[in-house]
Structure 1
Amino acid sequence: MYGLGDVDFFDRIAPLYDLVMPSADGAALAAGLDHAARPIERLIDVGGGSGRAAAALIGPEITVADASLGMLSRARRVRGLDGVAVDAGRLPFRDGSVDAVTVVDALHHLPDREAALAEAARVLAPGGALVVREFDPETLLGRVLVAGEHAIGMGSRFYTPAALADAMDAVDLDPRIVDRGFGYTVVGVRR
């Protein structure tokens, strides 16, 4: 696999993760997925960890894709989800084979965010949507989060909503900033 980034940390905290993290915002994810220009039958949750975001979604066939074996074990054992150990920069899915990709509270942990966005774009079918929920490092809470993650040794790198939209455009996705704030959503629709 790739340079592991924050994977060791998530392997260590996997048994406690769901106890300390709030549920994913299912309404925000659904609002993002509504931008898809095709029916969503197959979804890949990249950096999906314990399946927290997948559990907030209803309908499509979901595969959790993560580099942390501890977190994937929880997704399988606790939530009954399909999971695959992956490098987000080299997804093991065919070109145009999925209708949607989500990355929830995880993009900032990926060692090569640009490669992960390019891979998400590659596996999306035309009209499919990449929905990213992230934290804005320019908000007060965002600055606190950045400082906290760096203090515990994480290599986190955060996009602002506008910078993420630009990064999506660079990989041939039509970007849309759906909502703003500490937690924000940006969607990229495959052209």
Structure 2
Amino acid sequence: MYGIGDVGFFDRVAPLYDLAMPPADGEALAAGLDHAARPIERLLDVGGGSGRAAAALTGPEITVVDASVGMLSRARRGRELAGLAADAGRLPFRDGSVDAVTVVDAFHHLPDQDAALAEAARVLAPGGALVVRDFNPDHPLGRLLVAGEHAIGMDSRFRPPSELAAAMDDAGLDPRIVDRGFGYTVVGVRR
């Protein structure tokens, strides 16, 4: 899921992560999930770490998927969420087996973003939605975030919303840019 260096970082900061990070934007996630053309009963929160995004959602059965075992332990113990250690580029789920996938504040950490998009498209049932919330590197605050993450040695690769939407289209998803700004939301609906 995360590049090797990033996994170690998140394993180390897991006990303090939720103290430093604000809650996920549940309204933005719900607005993204509203684009699904099917009921959402089963959702994967890929790169879900401590379960911040999952905690902002209600309704579906949620499984947090992350490569950081330290972060997953926070999701399991702190939030009592189902968690699975796995790589976003090789999701251990059947084709068409979930209704939605979220990637919140984590897409820029994925070492093979195109493989992660292909895997999300593969596990989504037709009409299911991939909702990505991330940070825009073209925004002034985004440029600061990029510089900060690279300064501490992260392998982050940020994409602006239009570039992510084009990559979703290439992965067989119908992309929609839901909102823009420092934090943005792009949704891809499985064709």
TM-score (norm 1): 0.98
Q: Is the 8 A contact 1:43 1:99 kept in 2?
A: yes
Please state how far the C-alpha of 1:4 moved relative to its aligned partner. 2.0
Residue equivalent to 2:21:
21
Where do residues 41-56 of structure 1 align in structure 2 (5 Å cutoff)? 41-56=41-56
Secondary structure at the counterpart of residue 19 of structure 2: helix
Q: Is the 8 A contact 1:101 1:124 kept in 2?
A: yes
Letter in 2 for 1:37: A
Secondary structure at the counterpart of residue 19 of structure 1: helix
Where do residues 57-72 of structure 1 align in structure 2 (5 Å cutoff)? 57-72=57-72
Secondary structure at the counterpart of residue 164 of structure 1: helix
Residue equivalent to 2:149:
149
For residues 80 and 169 of structure 1, the distance between their equivalents in structure 2, rounded to whole angstroms, comes to 35
For residues 173 and 74 of structure 1, the distance between their equivalents in structure 2, rounded to whole angstroms, comes to 32
For residues 45 and 2 of structure 2, the distance between their equivalents in structure 1, rounded to whole angstroms, comes to 18
CA gap of 1:2–1:186, structure 2 versus 1, over 3 A, is: closer
For residues 58 and 4 of structure 2, the distance between their equivalents in structure 1, rounded to whole angstroms, comes to 31
For residues 66 and 189 of structure 1, the distance between their equivalents in structure 2, rounded to whole angstroms, comes to 22
- Structure 1: give runs of 5+ residues left out of the alignment: none
Secondary structure at the counterpart of residue 27 of structure 2: helix
Query: Do residues 39 (structure 1) and 39 (structure 2) align?
Result: yes
Secondary structure at the counterpart of residue 52 of structure 2: coil
**Aligned length in residues:** 191
Please state how far the C-alpha of 1:11 moved relative to its aligned partner. 0.2
For residues 2 and 190 of structure 2, the distance between their equivalents in structure 1, rounded to whole angstroms, comes to 26
- Structure 2: give runs of 5+ residues left out of the alignment: none
Query: Do residues 130 (structure 1) and 130 (structure 2) align?
Result: yes
Letter in 1 for 2:68: S
- 1:159-187 per-position Cα deviation (integer Å, ceiling 9, x unaligned): 10000000000000000000000000000
Letter in 2 for 1:17: Y
Where do residues 94-113 of structure 1 align in structure 2 (5 Å cutoff)? 94-113=94-113
- 1:53-105 per-position Cα deviation (integer Å, ceiling 9, x unaligned): 00000000000000000000000000000000001100000000000000000
Please state how far the C-alpha of 1:45 moved relative to its aligned partner. 0.3
Q: Is the 8 A contact 2:28 2:185 kept in 1?
A: yes
Please state how far the C-alpha of 1:2 moved relative to its aligned partner. 8.1
Secondary structure at the counterpart of residue 53 of structure 1: helix
Residue equivalent to 1:8:
8
Q: Is the 8 A contact 1:26 1:56 kept in 2?
A: yes
For residues 181 and 116 of structure 2, the distance between their equivalents in structure 1, rounded to whole angstroms, comes to 23
Q: RMSD of aligned C-alpha atoms?
A: 1.0
Query: Do residues 92 (structure 1) and 92 (structure 2) align?
Result: yes
Q: Is the 8 A contact 1:5 1:110 kept in 2?
A: no
